[in-house]
Amino acid sequence: AQKVTQAQTEISVVEKEDVTLDCVYETRDTTYYLFWYKQPPSGELVFLIRRNSFDEQNEISGRYSWNFQKSTSSFNFTITASQVVDSAVYFCALSGNNYGQNFVFGPGTRLSVLP
Amino acid sequence: GAVVSQHPSRVICKSGTSVKIECRSLDFQATTMFWYRQFPKQSLMLMATSNEGSKATYEQGVEKDKFLINHASLTLSTLTVTSAHPEDSSFYICSARKRGGLYEQYFGPGTRLTVT
pLDDT of B103 above 80: no
Contact A93, A35 (CB under 8 A): yes
- Which residue, among B95, B92, B116, B106, has the nearest Cα to B10 in the 3D structure? B92
Cis peptide before B8 (omega within 30 of 0): yes
Q: Are B34 and A47 in contact (CB < 8 Å)?
A: no
The whole-angstrom distance between B42's CA and the closest CA on chain A is 6
CA distance B48 to chain A (A): 9
B16 to chain A, closest Cα gap in Å = 26
pLDDT of A109 reads 98
Nearest partner of B25 among B78, B91, B102, judged by Cα: B78
Residues of A in contact with B97 (CB under 8 A): 100
From A30-34, A104-108, B80-84, the region with the lowest mean pLDDT: A30-34
The residue ranking higher by pLDDT, B95 or B105, is B95
Q: CA nearest B49 in A: which residue?
A: A102
Q: What is the pLDDT of residues B3-15, one digit of tens each?
A: 999 999 999 999 9
Q: What's the mean per-residue pLDDT of chain A? A: 92
- Quick check: A1 pLDDT over 90? no
Instruction: Decide: helix, strand or coil at residue A86.
Output: helix
Residues found in chain A: 115
Give residue B32's Cα distance to chain centre: 12
pLDDT band, residue B31 (cuts 50/70/90): confident
Q: What is the pLDDT of residue B85?
A: 96
pLDDT at position A71: 94
Query: In this predicted structure, which of A46-50, B38-42, B100-104 has the lowest mean pLDDT?
Result: B100-104
The pLDDT, as a whole number, for residue B104 is 78
Per DSSP (E only), the strands in B1-116 are: 4-7, 10-13, 19-25, 30-38, 44-51, 57-58, 67-73, 76-81, 90-98, 106-107, 111-115
Residue type, A36: W
Question: Average per-residue pLDDT in chain B?
Answer: 92
Assess whether pLDDT exceeds 70 at residue B32: yes
Give residue A101's pLDDT: 64
pLDDT of B5 reads 97
3-class DSSP state for residue A57?
coil
pLDDT at A57: 85
3-state secondary structure (DSSP) of residue A82: coil
Of B34, B45, B93, the CB nearest to A45: B93
Set of chain A residues whose Cβ sits within 8 Å of the Cβ of B45: 105
Task: Tell me if A103 and B46 make a contact (CB, 8 A cut-off).
Answer: yes
